[in-house]
Amino acid sequence: MSKMTPAVEQWSMFSASQNLPAVLNDPNKGKQSNFFTRTWGDNFVESANPGKSPFLPEVGYAHFESFLRKYSRRYRRHVRLSQNKLDVKSKSKNDSSQNDNVLSKIPGYFFDQTFPLNSSEMFNNVFGDIWKNNINPSKASEYALQEKLSHYLDYVEELIAKQVSQKSDAFFHAMTSHDTIMEEMGSACEQVRLLRSKIYGIDKTLARDSLGMLGLVRSRNNYNSLLDKLKLMATVLQTQPTLQLLLSSSDYVGALELIASTQEVLSKELAGVTCLRHLPSQLKEMSRLIDKMLSTEFERYAAADLNRPLDDVAGVLESERLISLTAGLLRQSHLQFLEVYKQEAITAAQAIVKQLVIEQLADVEDDVEHCLTGSGEAPPSLDSSQWLKALNLISNALNKLIGRVKAVHDVIKQTTDSSAGLNGSEEAVTINDRFLTKNEHSLIIAKLKNLLISVCDYCSERLASLVSTHSDKQTITAFEITNLSTVVENFSNLCESVCGKSSHALKAEFKKQAASYVQKFHSQRKQKLMLILDAERWKVADVPPEFQILVDNISSGRPLQSLPSSPDRDTNSSIVSEYGTECTKTANSLLIGTQEYVTVGTVLILIRLIVEYCVCAYDLPILATVIGRNLAELLRTFNSRCCQLVLGAGAIKTAGLNTITSTNLALTSRALQLVLWLIPHIRAQFSSLVRDSFIALDGVEKDIGHHIQQLESKILSLMNQLLNDQLNDWDAKPPVPSKAFRNVSRHLNKLHDALKSVLPEEQIADIYEVIHKNFKVRLREQLIKMNIENNGGPQHGVVTSEIVFYTETLKSLKVLPEKYITEKSMEEIWIR
C-alpha cells in the first residue's frame, strides 16, 4: 500500500492551542502574579494531557487480528495479480512501441486496404521520385525505388516473423487440429446434404401441395371479393333509375336513404374506382333536387289542404302524401316547413274572413260600394243581426280551419315520434332508420306547439278585430252581448283544447265590450232606481205575482239564468210557481217562508233589478266580479238615498209628502229588512260564478243594518218626544184618567196601528218594550220633580189610577208580555 503524504494545513486563529481571552478568564487559575512576565507562545500556559474517557473502551491490536487474518491473503493475491497486469501491459507497450517505430518508417499509403495504383495520386506517391528530375527515368532511380520497396518489405516480413514467433504455439496447435477440423467439416457437410434431401422430400410430399391449396383458397377469396365489388358497382350504377322510381312513387325517404347509403359505399368500399369518380357529385346534385322537390310539394300540399272547401269533412288530405313529405323534410333536417305551413294557415284564415264578409255584404241591400281593409274587418254598413251572423259564420269557419291544422299537426307529430324511435307500434310511416335525435325531436315538438298557438292567436285576433270594429260604430245590445259571449266562449274553449292556451286577444276585446255594456247596464239601472226613489211616496204597494216568483227563485238557491216569465194577468185563478208557492193575482205582501214582507214599490223594482244583475252575471261570467261590485254599489246607493229621503226628510221635497210619519219609517225599515234578506242569496248566486268573496256586500250589509237601527231609533225618539210632552203637562190631579194619559194611550194605539201591518210582532214588541222602559224612567223623574211619594196619599192614589189606565192600554194592544205590565213591574217608578 502506498503512503499518502498529508497536506499541510494553513494556520488560522482556530489552530491556536491558547488564546488570550481564554487565559485571562480561566477561573481555575485565580490571580496570576507572573502573567505579564512570561513569554507568549505554546508554553504560555501549562499543558496537560487529557485523561482517558470512562465511556470509551480500550482498543488494542488483538481486536484487529481476525480481520487481518481474513483479508491479508486476499490482499497479497490482489497485489500479485496487479503486478502481473502491470508487467504484461508494460511489455506489450514496449513491443507495440517498437512495432510502431518500425512501421513509422513505411509510408501510410502502403497500408491502405484498396491501394489503388490506378489513382494518379497514389501512383505519384509510389513512383513520384522517378519523375522528379527527368522526364525519362534512369535505371539508377528505378534501382533506388526498388531498393526502398525491398527495404519496406523486409520491415514487414520481420514484423510478421516476429508475430509468428510470438504466436507459434497457437499456430502449430491450429495446424495440428486442421485435419481433425476438416474431417468434422466433411462429416457436417454430409449431414447437411442428407438433411436437405429429407427436407426437399418433405416439402415435395407434404408442404408444397398444402401451400398450393392455401394459394387456391386465397385466389378463390380474391375472385369472390372481385365479384362482390363488381356486383356492388352494378348496384351502384342502378342508383339513378332506382331514384327515379322512388321519386315517382313519392318515397322521398327511401330516395334519400338510397343516396346516403350509395355515398357511403362510394367513399368506403369503392374508393378509388375511376369509372365511378363522377357519381358522388351526381348524387349530391340529386339530393339538392330532392330538397327543392320536397319544399315545393309541401307548399302545394299546404295550399291545397287549407284552401279546400270548408264543407269537406275529411280530416287530413292525402295523409300518406303528408307523411312522406314530412318524413323527407325531417330526414333532410329542413325544419322551416313548419313556418311555411304556419304562414299558409294564417293566409287561409285571412282569406276566409274576407270571403265571408264579402258574402255578407253581398246580401245587404245597399248600392254603396263597400271596401275591405287588409285584415278583413267588416265595414260599418252591417247591422247587428248581419254582424252576428257574419261573426258566427267566421267563427265556425275558423274553427274548421283550426281543426284541419290540428289534424295535420297530429300527423306530423306522429311522424316525428316514429322518426325519433319514440313510437313503439308500427305506424303508417315506414322509416327504417331512426334519424332524429332527442334534441331535434324536442325542437320539432316545440315548433309544432308554436304552430298551433300562432294559428289560434291569429284567428283570435281577427275575431277580436271584427268585434272591435262593430262596437266602435254601433252600440252593443244585451242580445248581442249574450250571443257574443257564446261565440267567444266556444272559440276560446276550442283554442284551449287544441293548443292548451286560451285566446287572450278575443277575451280581452270581449271583456272590453262586455265591460262597456255592463257599465251602461249599471248606469241605466242606477238612474232608473234613483228616479223611482225620488218619486216614491213610501206607502204600502201591492205585490204582483211575478215578484213573488222572483223572490221564490232567489230563495231556492238555484242559479238565476233568466228572468221568469210573467203569469197571465187576465186569469183570476191562483198561480203555482215552479217551487210550489201559490201566487194569487195580487198580494199585499211578499211571502218568504213564514214571514210576510210589506214593502214599497221601489223595493219591488229593486228586486227585479237584482235578478237582472244575477242573470247578467250568469251570461257574462268573465265580468261577474265587476257586475257584483256594481250590484253592491246599486244597493249602497239605494240605502243611502233611502236614508236621505226618509231620515233626511228629502221625500217631502221630491215626492210632495207633508211629513215623515212613523208609518213611513216602519215601511222603510221593513223594505230594508227585505233587502238585507236578499244579500246572502245574492252572495250565493255570485259565489257559484267567481271565487272571490264580495267584501263590498259585507259593507252594504253593515250599512243597511245600521240604517235599520237608525229608523227604529227615529221611531223611538218620536214616541219619546210625544210621551215626554204629555208628561210635562201632567199635574196628577183628578179627573182620572187625565187628558195627558189619554193622549199617551192614543199615541200608543196610533203607533200600533201604524206598525202592526208593516213590522213583525217580534220587532213591534221590541219597540214597545223600549218605549215602556223609557216611559217608566220619565214618569219616575216626573214624580220626583212633583215630590209624589208612595205614601198612600191622594196624589199617590191618582198616580196609581193613571198607571192602571196606562197598563190596561198596553194589555189591550197585546204587544208586551205580562211580566212587563204587572203592578209589581210598575213599582220601579217609586224607587228614589
* Successive 10-residue mean pLDDT values, the chain, 832 residues: 47 58 62 60 64 79 84 84 74 65 76 81 76 61 82 83 76 76 89 92 81 86 85 74 70 68 72 71 73 76 78 69 74 75 84 81 55 46 71 82 82 78 52 67 82 83 78 65 78 79 75 80 88 86 86 81 57 44 68 85 89 84 83 90 86 83 87 88 83 78 90 88 86 83 88 86 87 86 83 82 86 83 77 69
Among 694, 541, 548, which residue's Cα sits nearest to residue 611? 548
What are the grid coordinates assigned to 85, written together? 497486469
Longest dimension (CA), the chain: 214
- List C-alpha distances in Å: 621 to 376, 492, 616, 750: 29, 14, 8, 51
689 touches 619 (CB < 8 A): no
| The pLDDT value given to residue 569 | 43
The contacts of residue 689 (CB under 8 Å, 6+ apart) are 617, 618, 621, 624
| The pLDDT value given to residue 723 | 85
DSSP character string of 91-137: HHHHHHHHHHHHHHTS-GGGG-SS--TTSHHHHHHHHGGGGTT-SS-
Q: Which helix (H) or strand (E) segment is 593 a member of?
A: none
592 touches 716 (CB < 8 A): no
296 touches 334 (CB < 8 A): no
Strands 595-597 and 575-576: unpaired
Among 786, 811, 812, which residue's Cα sits nearest to residue 825? 811
Cα gap 654→634, rounded to integer Å = 20
Phi, psi of 279 (to 5 degrees): -70, -40
Across 221-230, b (16+ Cβ under 10 Å) vs e yields eeeeeeeeee
The contacts of residue 772 (CB under 8 Å, 6+ apart) are 810, 816, 820, 821
Question: Residue 431 has what DSSP assignment?
Answer: -
Tell me the HSE value of 166 on the side-chain side, using a 13 A CA sphere: 9
| The pLDDT value given to residue 370 | 44
Q: Which amino acid type is present at position 312?
A: D
- CA 569, distance to chain mean position in Å, is 64
What are the grid coordinates assigned to 760, written together? 213583525
Cα gap 326→411, rounded to integer Å = 9
Domains of the chain (ranges plus CATH)?
236-284 (no CATH), 293-476 (1.20.58), 509-697 (no CATH), 729-830 (1.20.1280.130)
Cα gap 350→375, rounded to integer Å = 7
What are the grid coordinates assigned to 819, written together? 211580566
pTM of the model: 0.56
741 touches 806 (CB < 8 A): yes
